[in-house]
């Protein structure tokens, strides 16, 4: 393994470690999910734009204009996707919220035959079934419908965030002729900008009080969890193959679950743990390439 590949792997692992702590940080941030998502988009986009300029590059105006409507729409969807995810962290454990969010690949598998005209193979069907069983175990549907009122609301927020993210992924397949980093910068900038009127119309910002710790955590979400993490991710994308990116990407939920248990002491029953394994295994297997038939 050469030095460039090693650095790329370490960068990707670092990005996953950063993303794996965002639920933990959300726990200690006393701001609304809308304000947090707006701040994340604006600060993250500013960080990445500055990084692009420092590298002597610039956004391709022509490719941005060519995909303007889709970039704006997908960016708005990302913004509201963040709000839903941050609300999921508020109403249920970080682990359960993260597992709900990682149902997104399953939603994509279900939608792909209708949206992308892709064939739903037996392996993919089994992955969908395993993930759905896992979700039933995680949400404890076999008991009282949901683990509790708060948990139930958190689960619905998490699944809604996953569905919205799946829509973003499918929409991204219609965006062509633009660099991946340029696309992401524009999308998260649109996420932040679209949420400005939403936050102004729905929240009383004059009543918000920010302590030095809150400001520090807010900056961490915007600059570290968004700007730096995306920079590390896209830096590794240029070197590593797609399957490595996909598989190492599952460090994010695994670390989030570990942090939930070890640092926040959030409970998880044995059945929920089994559900977590089913969801993560189904999502990972779904990412693996189909075995080519022997001639």
pLDDT score at 291: 58
The half-sphere exposure of 98 on its side-chain side, counting CA atoms within 13 A, is 29
Number of domains in the chain: 1
Q: Does 293 reside within a domain? A: no
Global pTM reads 0.89
Residue (of 93, 133, 121) closest to 279 by Cα position: 133
Q: Does 294 reside within a domain? A: no
Q: Give the range of the structural domain holding residue 24, as residue numbers without chain letter.
A: 3-286
Q: Does 147 reside within a domain? A: yes
Q: Does 292 reside within a domain? A: no
Q: Does 142 reside within a domain? A: yes
Using a 10 angstrom Cβ sphere, with 0-12 exposed, 13-18 middle and 19 or more buried, the burial of residue 49 is: middle
Blockwise average pLDDT, block size 10, the chain, 295 residues: 84 93 93 96 96 89 93 96 96 91 88 83 88 86 50 90 94 90 94 96 86 95 96 88 80 89 87 89 78 47
Q: Does 291 reside within a domain? A: no
Q: Does 256 reside within a domain? A: yes
Q: Does 116 reside within a domain? A: yes
Which SS3 state, helix, strand or coil, does residue 103 take? Answer: coil
């Amino acid at each position: 393994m050469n030095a460039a590949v090693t650095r790329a792997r370490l960068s990707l692992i670092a990005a996953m470690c950063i993303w794996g702590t965002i639920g933990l940080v959300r726990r200690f941030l006393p701001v609304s999910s809308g304000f947090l998502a707006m701040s994340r988009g604006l600060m993250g986009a500013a960080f990445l734009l500055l990084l692009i300029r420092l590298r002597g590059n610039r956004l391709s105006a022509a490719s941005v204009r060519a995909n303007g409507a889709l970039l704006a729409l997908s960016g708005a969807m990302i913004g509201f996707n963040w709000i839903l995810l941050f609300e999921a962290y508020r109403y249920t454990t970080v682990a359960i919220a993260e597992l709900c969010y990682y149902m997104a690949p399953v939603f994509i598998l279900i939608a792909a035959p209708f949206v992308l005209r892709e064939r739903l193979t037996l392996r993919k069907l089994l992955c969908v079934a395993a993930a759905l069983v896992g979700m039933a175990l995680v949400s404890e549907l076999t008991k009282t419908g949901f683990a509790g009122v708060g948990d139930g609301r958190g689960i619905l927020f998490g699944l809604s965030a996953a569905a919205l993210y799946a829509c973003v992924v499918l929409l991204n397949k219609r965006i062509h002729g633009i660099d991946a980093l340029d696309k992401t910068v524009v999308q998260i900038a649109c996420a932040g900008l679209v949420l400005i009127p939403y936050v102004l119309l729905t929240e009383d910002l004059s009543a918000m009080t920010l302590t030095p710790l809150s400001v520090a955590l807010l900056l961490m979400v915007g600059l570290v969890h968004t700007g730096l993490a995306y920079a590390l991710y896209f830096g590794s994308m240029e070197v590593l193959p797609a399957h490595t990116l996909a598989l190492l990407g599952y460090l994010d939920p695994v670390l989030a679950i570990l942090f939930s248990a070890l640092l926040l002491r959030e409970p998880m029953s044995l059945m929920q743990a089994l559900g977590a394994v089913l969801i993560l295994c189904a999502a990972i297997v779904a990412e693996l390439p189909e075995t080519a038939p022997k001639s």
